[in-house]
Amino acid sequence: MSSNPKLEETLRDAIIAKPDAILDDQAVMQALIAADDRSKGDNIIDLRGVAMERLEARLDRLEDTHRSVIEAAYENLSSTNQVHRAILRMLDATEFEVFLRDLAGPVASILRVEAITLVLETAQGDHDTGGQHLNGALTLTEPGFVEDYLARGRRGAPRQVSLRAVPETDPRVYGEKSDRIRSEACMRLDFGEGKLPGLLVMGSADPTHFAPQQATDILTFFTGVFERTMRRWLS
């Protein structure tokens, strides 16, 4: 009698019937290659096996990259949908006070942020010194505040949209919510020639919600729509 183990007849017939199933199963193929290596002894190096291992490792990395790309695409799509919904809600307002109330409430909820504040510079001397005006969404500051706020922790000219962590918040921007804000998106607003700039700030309690390495395309689009909406209110 042969000392070699025999396959059960049913298993043998199944393999013969569907050999592709063996070739497509990575775990089974690895087990077969390992068994073949053991049968050759320790003095033989199978270069084909080494090449296969490297190809498998490369394939695993490609699959991980593929999954990451898909996840990023879904996340970008979700963010785009959120911004579109927020814009539609903003455009519904027919009065400025309603616009501000929606900004601090429904729009902030749609965008999943803790707070949204509109900062307007004014030369009239009625700057906000403690709280926030009109439904907690509008803060009035002295001229130059926007540029100073955007320049914190940065070198060079400020971008239109800046994403960053917030180790320390300014109560004039977030009011009573200051202690909860850990990251923010700052959007510089241009209201036209001869008018002081503004700033739209979104604050999140999640320190990773806004980060410098994230893309800003969709928020740049949101900023453009917001600017045009504000020009209508300021005209």
d(CA 66, CA 180): 36
Residue with tokens 């906000």: 128
In order of their start, the domains of the chain are 94-234 (3.30.450.40)
Instruction: Give the H or E element holding residue 115.
Output: strand 115-121
Q: Which two tokens stand for residue 146?
A: 């926007």
- Supply the pTM of this predicted model: 0.67
State residue 7's pLDDT score: 65
pLDDT at 215: 82
Whether the CB-CB separation of 183 and 204 falls below 8 Å is answered with: yes
Main-chain dihedrals φ then ψ at residue 59, nearest 5 degrees: -65, -40
Per-residue pLDDT of the chain (235 residues; tens, 9 = 90+): 444 556 677 877 777 777 777 767 777 777 776 766 666 656 655 656 667 677 777 777 777 776 766 666 666 667 788 899 999 999 998 898 899 999 989 999 999 999 999 999 988 655 554 445 555 789 998 999 999 999 875 655 667 899 999 888 888 888 888 889 999 999 999 988 888 999 999 999 999 999 998 888 899 999 999 999 998 888 7
Residue 182's contacts (CB-CB under 8 Å, 6 or more residues apart) are 165, 166, 204, 205, 206, 207, 209
Contact (CB, 8 A) for 149 and 173: yes
Cβ contact 189:233 at 8 Å: no
